[in-house]
């Protein structure tokens, strides 16, 4: 092949390759800005709210969070559930969070310097949880004093434990629990697993395990009412979004979900 023809073909190939590279670079530049980052990067970012919630709210809040996210596509809600006293300790230690919902007003009141103005979003009552079919035939609070009965309660520092002590003391009943748990779900779990014959929990918690436990009602005259206040946290980096979520908890849609789960009106 003549040298001149060979040289021309090489030149043409180089030009074609160069054109292809320019074309690919142009296509790539459509998706990037001057910093080299995609132009659309960040458009799908969401504000992530961390909500500290009492353990008894686990099921209803998990469902409510999904509804809230659909109504507020720019916000993602992340929950952390535990006993109210544990949540309060986290807030005092400066754990990053945006809102708090406790199972009693006492715990919330102890955080006045850390929260916005709280609003009660729901109420609850106590029941006696027993194994399915109530094999020990527990019918009243007095039955819990039977020394042959394995009873589990929440510790007195936990709201449900404090309410339990309140109703037992009012009836002048002495109950010796086989264990004292850090939150209501732990009490329920002990009964579900057969590690305890009975335990005092919230009505809503017993309702989450209808195939594993029975709920023995406690008369209103002997019962206690648990109030659930919600508030924003002053340490929040998303105060506007946190306030929006707390306010939403009192809307008809959120309240309907709470009622359906067994919580009472505020």
In a shared domain, residues 114 and 231:
yes
Across the range 85-113, mean pLDDT stands at 96
Helix spans in the chain (H): 3-29, 58-71, 84-92, 105-109, 159-170, 184-192, 203-206, 239-248, 252-260
Residue linked to tokens 């992340």: 78
Q: Which domain holds residue 110?
A: 47-123+227-260
In a shared domain, residues 231 and 221:
no
What pLDDT, on the 0 to 100 scale, is given for residue 6? 38
What pLDDT, on the 0 to 100 scale, is given for residue 28? 39
User: Is the residue at 20 inside a domain?
Assistant: no
Q: Please check the confidence at residue 183 and state whether its pLDDT lies above 90.
A: yes
In a shared domain, residues 116 and 231:
yes
Rounded to whole angstroms, what are the CA distances from 51 to 7, 37, 195, 204, 245?
A: 71, 32, 31, 20, 9
How does pLDDT run across 234-265, given as a tens digit for each residue?
Answer: 999 999 999 999 999 999 999 999 999 999 99
How does pLDDT run across 148-182, given as a tens digit for each residue?
Answer: 999 999 999 999 999 999 999 999 999 999 999 99
What pLDDT, on the 0 to 100 scale, is given for residue 34? 36
In a shared domain, residues 95 and 129:
no
Q: Please check the confidence at residue 45 and state whether its pLDDT lies above 50.
A: yes
In a shared domain, residues 132 and 204:
yes
pTM of the shown model: 0.81
* Residue scoring higher pLDDT (107 or 32): 107
User: Is the residue at 186 inside a domain?
Assistant: yes
In a shared domain, residues 182 and 219:
yes
In a shared domain, residues 148 and 129:
yes
Q: Please check the confidence at residue 64 and state whether its pLDDT lies above 80.
A: yes
User: Is the residue at 216 inside a domain?
Assistant: yes
Distance of CA 231 to the CA centre of its chain: 14
How does pLDDT run across 18-44, given as a tens digit for each residue?
Answer: 443 333 334 334 443 333 333 333 445
Average pLDDT, the chain: 87
In a shared domain, residues 106 and 145:
no
Confidence category of residue 114, pLDDT binned at 50, 70, 90:
very high
Confidence category of residue 11, pLDDT binned at 50, 70, 90:
very low
CATH code at 179? Answer: 3.40.190.10
What pLDDT, on the 0 to 100 scale, is given for residue 44? 58
What pLDDT, on the 0 to 100 scale, is given for residue 23? 39
How does pLDDT run across 188-223, given as a tens digit for each residue?
Answer: 999 999 999 999 999 999 999 999 999 999 999 999
In a shared domain, residues 117 and 130:
no
Distance of CA 31 to the CA centre of its chain: 38
User: Is the residue at 9 inside a domain?
Assistant: no
User: Is the residue at 113 inside a domain?
Assistant: yes
In a shared domain, residues 51 and 107:
yes
Q: Which of 87, 131, 128 is nearest to 231 (CA)?
A: 87
User: Is the residue at 84 inside a domain?
Assistant: yes
In a shared domain, residues 195 and 64:
no
Least confident of 7-21, 46-60, 62-76, 171-185: 7-21
| Number of domains, the chain | 2
Q: Which of 113, 77, 75 is nearest to 94 (CA)?
A: 113
User: Is the residue at 202 inside a domain?
Assistant: yes
In a shared domain, residues 220 and 245:
no
DSSP 41: T
């Amino acid at each position: 092949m003549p040298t001149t023809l060979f040289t021309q073909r090489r030149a043409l190939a180089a030009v074609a390759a160069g054109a292809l590279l320019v074309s690919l670079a142009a296509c790539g530049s459509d998706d990037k800005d001057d910093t080299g980052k995609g132009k659309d990067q960040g458009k799908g970012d969401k504000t992530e709210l961390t909500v500290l919630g009492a353990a008894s709210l686990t099921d209803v809040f998990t469902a409510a969070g999904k509804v809230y996210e659909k109504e507020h596509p720019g916000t993602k809600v992340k929950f952390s559930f535990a006993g109210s006293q544990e949540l309060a300790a986290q807030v005092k230690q400066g754990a990053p969070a945006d809102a708090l919902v406790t199972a009693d007003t006492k715990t919330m009141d102890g955080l006045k310097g850390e929260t916005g103005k709280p609003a009660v979003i729901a109420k609850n009552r106590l029941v006696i949880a027993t194994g399915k079919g109530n094999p020990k035939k527990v019918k009243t609070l007095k039955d819990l004093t039977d020394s042959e009965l394995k009873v589990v309660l929440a510790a007195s520092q936990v709201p449900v434990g404090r309410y339990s002590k309140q109703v037992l003391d009012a009836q002048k009943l002495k109950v010796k629990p086989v264990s004292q748990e850090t939150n209501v779900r732990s009490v329920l779990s002990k009964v579900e697993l057969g590690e305890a014959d009975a335990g005092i929990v919230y009505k809503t918690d017993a309702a989450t395990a209808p195939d594993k436990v029975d709920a023995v009602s406690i008369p209103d005259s002997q019962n206690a009412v648990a109030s659930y206040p919600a508030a924003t946290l002053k340490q929040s980096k998303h105060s506007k979004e946190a306030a929006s979520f707390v306010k939403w908890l009192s809307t008809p849609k959120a309240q309907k979900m709470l009622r359906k789960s067994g919580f009472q009106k505020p």
